[in-house]
């Protein structure tokens, strides 16, 4: 089999607990854990099939690798590929939609529950001996919060937002949502409101929207001023939805009680990010999507994407 498949940055998708066998059945596979941008063309070499997660594929890369026929993005977002350049060269580009829907919605609620109860902190306090030394049968270092009766505002009521809405409702929360498009599935789970009303009424705001130029920095000093005092903000969508300096200031002042963030504007996070020193700010390293079940679905869909392309009937093809 002379078809060559190169995986430019396979580690985050498969750190060793999954298999590349599905691709190996379709060609000779070379897998790199990570690829610096300036080495992408050299590592693609003569391969006709390229798989990437976050390694950029630019017009220059495609010009240097004219034999490339197909680019499979091992993710939903495909902004790492110059799709216009790919289209001009007749290169098919596919992505993997909706593989992490359950995991990302679950993770948003997990962050919220950690903020409400600080379970990790109290576990460590017990193991440090503080409960054994306590004069009372219990103690707590943070206010403990009940969610029933509070209002959850979800920005972006697509598949992931709907998962979050279902769980929030099961916890006894009222769910409202803002989305530019309304759908029957969303209407069954939440009441659509204006963004201004969502900011004003929500005790908890969850961001589940894609990043566009018109919503970049939507959580900023001005929008935070419209929110309830003591609001909680959860973002496991895209980091640049938030102006990080403004959120840090609001956390220091107490206007925002807490934030749970799985994404930041620059990833990996930079050590001078103001949120690292902000109080009540929970930050995780972009792992909402990374359950084994989600990654297995991603792998299976990526294989089927390539199989369909080779059969002459591409699926999950993105526009150039």
**CB under 8 Å to 9, separation ≥6 — which residues?**
32, 33, 34, 35, 52, 53, 54, 55
Q: CA triplet 212, 77, 23: central angle to 5 degrees? A: 170
> Is residue 93 within 8 Å of 83, Cβ to Cβ?
yes
Report which DSSP code applies to 137. Answer: S
> Which helix (H) or strand (E) is 307 found in, with range?
helix 292-310
> Which residues are identified as catalytic?
238, 267, 286
Written as one string, the DSSP assignment of 47-105 is -SEEEESSS-B-HHHHHH-TT--EEEESSS--TTB-HHHHHHTT-EEE--TTTTHHHHH
- Residue 4 backbone phi and psi in degrees, to 5: -110, 135
CA dihedral 9, 11, 14, 17 (to 10 degrees): 160
């Amino acid at each position: 089999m002379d078809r060559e498949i190169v995986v430019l940055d396979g580690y985050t998708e498969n750190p060793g607990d999954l298999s590349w066998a599905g691709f190996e059945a379709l060609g000779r596979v070379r897998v790199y854990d990570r690829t610096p941008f300036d080495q992408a063309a050299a590592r693609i070499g003569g391969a006709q099939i390229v798989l990437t997660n976050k390694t950029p594929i630019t017009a220059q890369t495609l010009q240097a690798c004219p034999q490339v026929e197909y680019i499979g993005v091992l993710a939903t977002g495909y902004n790492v590929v110059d799709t216009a350049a790919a289209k001009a060269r007749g290169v098919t580009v596919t992505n993997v939609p909706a593989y992490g829907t359950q995991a990302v919605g679950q993770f948003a609620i997990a962050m919220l529950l950690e903020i409400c109860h600080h379970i990790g902190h109290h576990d460590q306090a017990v193991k440090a001996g503080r409960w054994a030394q306590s004069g009372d049968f219990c103690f707590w270092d943070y206010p403990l919060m009940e969610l029933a009766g509070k209002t959850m505002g979800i920005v972006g009521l697509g598949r992931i937002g709907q998962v979050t809405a279902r769980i929030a409702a099961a916890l006894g929360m009222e769910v409202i949502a803002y989305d530019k498009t309304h759908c029957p599935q969303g209407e069954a789970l939440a009441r659509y409101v204006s963004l201004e009303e969502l900011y004003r009424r929500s005790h908890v705001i969850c961001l589940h929207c894609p990043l566009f130029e018109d919503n970049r920095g939507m959580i900023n000093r001005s929008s935070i001023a419209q929110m309830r005092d003591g609001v909680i903000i959860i973002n496991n969508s895209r980091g640049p939805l938030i102006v990080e300096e403004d959120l840090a200031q609001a956390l220091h002042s107490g206007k925002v009680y807490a934030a749970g963030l799985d994404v930041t504007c620059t990833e990996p996070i930079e050590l001078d990010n103001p949120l690292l020193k902000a109080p009540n700010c929970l930050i995780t390293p972009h792992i909402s999507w990374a359950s084994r079940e989600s990654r297995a679905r991603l792998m299976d869909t990526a294989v089927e994407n390539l199989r369909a392309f080779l059969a002459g009937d591409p699926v999950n093809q993105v526009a150039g």
